[in-house]
Structure 1
Amino acid sequence: MDAPDYSQQTEQQLRQILGRIDAARFPERVQEIEARLASLALAPAPVKTEAVAADAPDVVMAGVWRRIAACLIDGMLLFLIGQAAGLVLYQQFSALGGWGVLVGVFITLLYFGVTQSRLGGGQSAGMRLLGLKVVSRTGEMLGFPAACVRAAIFCLVFFLNGVVIDLGADRELLSTGLLLLLFGLVFSIFYLLVFNRRTRQATHDLAVGAFVVRAGPGKLSLPSKAIWRGHAAFIAAVIIVFAGVALVLRQSAIKAELGALNAALTQLQATPGVQGASIFLMTMHTGNQTSEHLSINAIVDASLPDTGAFAQGLVQTVLDSYPGASRQPWIIVSLRSGYNIGIASQWTITNYAHTPEQWKALGHDSATKIAQ
């Protein structure tokens, strides 16, 4: 009988054969099996992770819509955190006024700095749900400082949205520069996110050399080519055109009127109890009818005893510093009290609307009552 071939048998099969074989009758086969088992024991064990990675598809760049969806999920989570904090610290947040936005900045940078760095595995909550990950050029996860810088660039525009920044009428160049910065960030981020198909990096990604990829067990496949330079040229051209339009508008015929409004705004912002203010000339079209009014908006202390009298005082300040106010059909005052921390806000709004003559009469009646 020919001797069986044990070279193709697995370790488990060999041990089963060894348990059944008659060692007295076939000692040479027992020796062959034991020798084969010894050689298998000395052979290096196969690495299972490499086999899985070899069969898995390459990890590629994340798509635009998946990134946007992850961002929306993170934004909703931050909103809920801000709302919860506001329920507990409403009075403290209200007292901060315009500085309250720094609370949201701190929470946001801490959230993204931890979750999108190596501390949190490079995945915020939204990214984890949608299978995304932030990595560096080397394929490793970002450090905490880099993740904070990336988040700060992306979130800057959202935090400054709605924040009143008074640079004064004599600082038009600085005001225009800030406007260009915000516009440039918004446009470049979303333009690159959509049209930079080569690396799929937006402005905040390029600043720290980050990539957003699909999370998975496969081999990381980052783009070998740099971003196309034509994107930078196009973005610069759009910003230059926007700057030209902004400068033309500032030098237009309405500059004198805007200057008078700026003077009134300066007086409003200097009023005790006002945390922030804005003033606009508004034109409304309803069907074939057109109506104009002057809109005064102010963020005030929630503890004001008489908001009506306070609103009348603001209108009187505007009437004294802006002659065009008395020619408006209506003057509308909107008083807001509450807080804005960037990621969440809560306001109580009180509106008053009268003609200039009615506002003057209210002021006269108040003065009469005080004299009596």
Structure 2
Amino acid sequence: MSAIQPFDTHSIAGFWRRIAAFALDALALGLIGITLGAIFEEQLVSLGPWGRLLGFLIALVYFGPLNSRLAGGQTLGKRLLQIKVVDAQGAPLALGRSLLRFLPLGSVWFLNNAQLPDGVLFSAWAAVFGLAILGLGASTLYLYVFNRRSRQSLHDWLVGSFVVNAASQGALAAEIAGPPPKLHRVVCALLLALGGLAPLISQQFQQQEPFAQLGQILHAVNAETWIVSSGVNQGATYTSSSSAGSKTTRHLSINAVSRDADIGNAERAQKLAALTLAAHPAAGQLDLIQITIVHGYDIGIASAWRSHSTARAPAKWLAP
């Protein structure tokens, strides 16, 4: 009876096969999310920002069991791309280990673009979320691209897992299964630190003009009880034509997420414009203020929104 040969570098799944497998899994989860939205839209809307937690749990139930020994270490995407998740001995992961493996990736996926309250965005908690989103996200991407020896990313390091070709058998070679290179560890530590510091540095800029007044607009708008969250953007649009020549339109846009479906309410839009001009008087010199009210749901794996926009000159917003 011959001994099982260890894996060689060709048994490690390549970058593009892993990315393609993840894209297929995301598509499968998206179809699940769309189906849930078609049946339970009202309930998903009522979850508000907590809808992303539901999406996280659905993704955890999908990736955890399928990447474990329960399904041979293969999600639907991995099965189609003929790759699988194993440990250093070539065996599929236990369920608990597979669930833990998903946590770093899931944190980046479902916290990114989440509707976080002002109490988080403008506090020390922002550093925690910056580390979880920016730090983990940048580290994961870096390792996917540059860790060519084992192709382990951050979530693989966490549990000692590897993604290999489905036909591979036996333990990994020592040079692959060994500790990650020092360079990668140093780079990931720096990326995690920068991810945690970035929101704190951003807060310092937000206290200076013109960001301070934009922040005041956010605070005033978010204080409205019918608003879940909002965003503000100020900029300029440049157009040019042979007949009218060049034109610059300076504008400020408010995007407000409503708790209810009354997105076409003119009085609400007028109120938001008035709050904007009170918090940022210089906005009265702009050419346009656009108020967009949206309503819908976002559970991370699927979303559906309806919106209504109104753009007027500042003086017309204040007209009775």
Task: Indicate which of 212, 228, 232 corresponds to 2:185.
Answer: 232
Task: Indicate which of 221, 227, 230 corresponds to 1:274.
Answer: 227
CA distance in 1, matches of 2:123, 2:207: 15
- The equivalent residue for 1:79 is 30
1:136-147 to structure 2, matched below 5 A, reads: 136-147=87-98
| Offset of residue 205 of structure 1 | 0.7
Letter in 2 for 1:255: Q
The change in CA–CA distance for 1:121 and 1:95 in structure 2 (over 3 A counts) is same
- The equivalent residue for 2:105 is 154
- The equivalent residue for 2:45 is 94
TM-score (ref. length: structure 1):
0.75
1:116-155 to structure 2, matched below 5 A, reads: 116-155=67-106
Q: Which has the larger radius of gyration?
A: 1
Task: Indicate which of 210, 234, 237 corresponds to 1:284.
Answer: 237
Deviates more, 1:346-355 or 1:141-150: 141-150
1:176-187 to structure 2, matched below 5 A, reads: 176-187=127-138
- The equivalent residue for 1:42 is none
The change in CA–CA distance for 1:93 and 1:116 in structure 2 (over 3 A counts) is same
Deviates more, 1:97-106 or 1:159-168: 159-168
| Offset of residue 207 of structure 1 | 1.0
| Offset of residue 124 of structure 1 | 0.2
Give yes or no for contact 2:139–2:191 (8 Å, CA) kept in 1. no
Alignment partner of 1:142: what SS? coil
1:248-267 to structure 2, matched below 5 A, reads: 250-252=203-205, 255-267=208-220
- Show CA shifts across 1:208-256 (max 9, x none): 1111111116434342432101112233345556777766665459714
Tell me, yes or no, if structure 1 residue 215 matches structure 2 residue 166: yes
Runs of 4 or more, structure 1, over 6 Å off, are: 56-59, 241-246
Cα RMSD of the aligned pairs, angstroms, is 2.8
CA distance in 2, matches of 1:80, 1:296: 31
CA distance in 1, matches of 2:46, 2:137: 30
Question: Is there any run of 5+ residues in structure 2 with no aligned partner, and where?
Answer: 241-245
- Show CA shifts across 1:306-362 (max 9, x none): 52222112112222333233232211111111111110001111111001111111x
CA distance in 2, matches of 1:58, 1:194: 16
- The equivalent residue for 2:243 is none
- The equivalent residue for 1:311 is 269
How many residues are aligned here?
A: 312
Letter in 2 for 1:279: V
Task: Indicate which of 111, 115, 118 corresponds to 2:66.
Answer: 115
The change in CA–CA distance for 1:208 and 1:170 in structure 2 (over 3 A counts) is closer
Question: Is there any run of 5+ residues in structure 1 with no aligned partner, and where?
Answer: 1-46, 365-372
TM-score (ref. length: structure 2):
0.87
- The equivalent residue for 2:149 is 198
Task: Indicate which of 327, 334, 338 corresponds to 2:296.
Answer: 338
CA distance in 2, matches of 1:281, 1:291: 11
Give yes or no for contact 1:319–1:325 (8 Å, CA) kept in 2. yes
Task: Indicate which of 258, 261, 270 corresponds to 1:300.
Answer: 258
